[in-house]
Structure 1
């Protein structure tokens, strides 16, 4: 909508500034997801540590993200999303600066734990967008922010390789700290205070049980290959996670200020939306782990691969990252023309097609460039469809919390996908080199997960048209001030 002069109205200008500030904040988080991956080998050498400890630089970030995100999302719903977002960006910036100055692997892992708070930028941003943008621009805004996550993750692989090759691994964190500082300033200047705040006391008991359950589950998944999946430590952690989930359900049932609304897990559309996020995480990380490994394998060693450097391996995945953004921004139009259920199913089907093409043909560089680009299109659609569905199903006072739990589901799926892929690569070796057929199996596995996601997708949204504008009655707002 424009004023008679053709200039944007004040509300449109404000919405544009809010969107710009959130895009910068989300891009900084998305970049840090993968920026460190190309430098893991160098870090192992410079910090004089083992592969097991260097792997914790990724695992610590994921664990911290999964534990902190629902709690921070809930704090945003209760105390104001802008205020909480600012504190998250400040803490994330300090953690990133600390990582740049780290002198040992222990200090760097501790800094990565602090950095894990940045995942909550995503659910907080989606909640802010629903308040700041008019309905007809909300689809575009959500799609843009969702797409930036994929673009940032893909760009992180390339930028991480370039900075590591030409400067130092510390430059990775200097870049992250600068982006965090810029984000704080933009949020201060351009993001207004929100309207929907629930108030009340924070559910610390629920947060503690959820955090312990997630730590137990993710620790079992990340250490399973090293400790042995049938070892008493891994089985004990899985059992502990199950018991803690049961305790969480008992504690949160009928609680007015519950961090985890049990109704979200008995209401089929919301439960299946979280399950879709889990499947998406599995599918995404199969490619994150497998494609660079394939590209870096010398052809003379395994009869496949390109012998690519870290930077070139990242560049081969860049088209898949660049296609995410335009695909994400198409979700609103697709939902209006084909219905609320369509985008998620279409996204999974397109990703499945890309995975199947890679399973059939992956021996040339153009196969990776083109076919992973197809996967990127599907990725963009799924990433924008998930927060849109959460907005349809959750009441305004729980948007941040529900998006936080959805991001946890995707994070857990990512851990499962990376560990399953690592297990396949470890077991599918011959003479110390991964067999080419192992990659074919992994790409077909990703295609199968995509099919499962497409089957689930039609069940994630209410049948009625325009469901995105009203939360489900099953998830009505809880009593205030609980």
Structure 2
């Protein structure tokens, strides 16, 4: 992967560069790619409203049921860079279609599951779709230039955020009106539709190099992430100093050390060391961890807040049903999409790091607002909409920052690694939010109290504030095309 030298900021004149002719994209090109991103993003949160039902039918406690969400995110964290690298070598369009077919297969397996192991196997297969966003962005950058390219990436980024938020609404309605297997049927149907649209409206691109896949890196990444997530999710239950937790923490550390040592020695690593040694890429990737973590604090916490009893000792809930909860969160989902669409306009006027700071700042303000007024439905709706706006802007600007620092040949892998970090952040968000909801400020009857929600959303605001500071560590540079 080649790191590109760039000049500084929006006030710096662009350096003219020669271009080879890039074919124009047909009508429906961006919509076809967005359909794959929508299917992936919806399956991140589509099951959140159904978790209590799944817990009952599969005989699970809350922490164990959370693995139905985490398995998808963990699988995606590994799949995104591996599949992104395959796309660089064998063609982004072809690999994207294969990934979405694996996603469809996973939906069928999970929808027919009668036990947790089968359910988790299906969710792991569905995680292949996590690579849809980096592959789609790589295809866009191969086919479009200038404003058309920026607008298309804005659509993809907005769709990714919209899907995660919209799924909370749709998931609640489907669970109420039908049953949980229909959630997987819906996801599989969207995945299959995306394959058909991509085959129809996305032209085949050139194949890259036939470099070998870094399977050692894949294995070491799993060895690092799986024990770490087990520690986060089960530490309270098992005891933070128990032999099991300490052993898993040690295993995660060994996996990380091994991953660093192996990747530094390979010509075509799964995770290019440049991504953590180059200042701009390292800061952008670190920022992505925050962008992944913060929304999940709200995705997990807000349904609990809104569905908690509206009366009783320490109660701050609204007593809403599943469908009504989804409707209350809908404005936030819409603002995620609009944030992605608004980002190209911002990037035309401000530096990337300034736009990233605006995104995290909006999420910080939203978290503080909800933490101060958790008992007000209007405050929750308005401030979550602000979180959604920042989330949408953040997704779009990170994609642009990453794409602006690597060459086209390595873009799929670079965005795949960035997708890993976003997914890892999300995967941590779920157990951390669950841990807070079940262990801090519990009111009478075992329900979360006002203190619980204040702590959760103030933590989200604090992480967002740290992201604002980190955004200004990203060098303000303008990309020079190869």
TM-score normalised by length of structure 1:
0.91
- The structure whose RCO (Cα within 8 Å, separation 6+) is larger is 2
Q: Report the alpha carbon displacement of residue 101 of structure 1 after superposing the two structures with TM.
A: 2.1
Q: Aligned runs of 1:333-372 on 2, under 5 Å?
A: 333-372=345-384
2:316 maps to 1:304: yes
Query: Aligned equivalents of 1:418 and 1:164: distance in 2?
Result: 20
Q: Which residue of 1 aligns with 2:421?
A: 409
Structure 1 gap ranges (5+): 1-9, 472-482
2:438 maps to 1:420: no
2:425 maps to 1:399: no
Q: Which residue of 2 aligns with 1:313?
A: 325
Q: Aligned runs of 1:106-121 on 2, under 5 Å?
A: 106-121=117-132
Contact (CA 8 Å) 1:53, 1:105: kept in 2 or not?
Answer: no
Q: Aligned runs of 1:90-239 on 2, under 5 Å?
A: 90-195=101-206, 197-239=208-250
Contact (CA 8 Å) 1:151, 1:321: kept in 2 or not?
Answer: yes
Query: Aligned equivalents of 1:172 and 1:421: distance in 2?
Result: 23
Query: Aligned equivalents of 1:40 and 1:435: distance in 2?
Result: 20
Query: Aligned equivalents of 1:360 and 1:370: distance in 2?
Result: 13
Deviations 1:99-142 (A, max 9, x none): 22223332222111111111111111111111122222111111
Query: Aligned equivalents of 1:346 and 1:200: distance in 2?
Result: 39
Give SS of 1:338's match: coil
Q: Which residue of 1 aligns with 2:464?
A: 450
Change (3 A) 1:240 1:104: closer
Query: Aligned equivalents of 2:476 and 2:173: distance in 1?
Result: 48
2:79 maps to 1:68: yes
Q: Report the alpha carbon displacement of residue 277 of structure 1 after superposing the two structures with TM.
A: 0.8
Contact (CA 8 Å) 1:65, 1:116: kept in 2 or not?
Answer: yes
Query: Aligned equivalents of 2:167 and 2:28: distance in 1?
Result: 25
2:400 maps to 1:388: yes
Q: Report the alpha carbon displacement of residue 195 of structure 1 after superposing the two structures with TM.
A: 3.5
Give SS of 2:28's match: helix
Give SS of 2:348's match: helix
Q: Which residue of 1 aligns with 2:95?
A: 84
Query: Aligned equivalents of 2:121 and 2:353: distance in 1?
Result: 41
Q: Aligned runs of 1:237-252 on 2, under 5 Å?
A: 237-252=248-263
2:284 maps to 1:270: no
Equivalent residue for 1:36, pick from 38, 47, 66: 47
Number of equivalent positions: 458
Query: Aligned equivalents of 2:280 and 2:241: distance in 1?
Result: 34
Query: Aligned equivalents of 1:427 and 1:352: distance in 2?
Result: 21
Query: Aligned equivalents of 1:279 and 1:88: distance in 2?
Result: 26
Q: Which residue of 1 aligns with 2:29?
A: 18
Contact (CA 8 Å) 2:227, 2:251: kept in 1 or not?
Answer: yes
Contact (CA 8 Å) 1:31, 1:153: kept in 2 or not?
Answer: yes
Change (3 A) 1:21 1:433: same
Change (3 A) 1:340 1:63: closer
Structure 2 gap ranges (5+): 1-21
Deviations 1:175-212 (A, max 9, x none): 11111111111111111222462321112222222222
Give SS of 1:393's match: coil
TM-score normalised by length of structure 2:
0.91
Q: Report the alpha carbon displacement of residue 11 of structure 1 after superposing the two structures with TM.
A: 5.6
Q: Report the alpha carbon displacement of residue 12 of structure 1 after superposing the two structures with TM.
A: 5.1
2:443 maps to 1:430: yes
Q: Report the alpha carbon displacement of residue 284 of structure 1 after superposing the two structures with TM.
A: 1.1
Query: Aligned equivalents of 1:423 and 1:340: distance in 2?
Result: 34
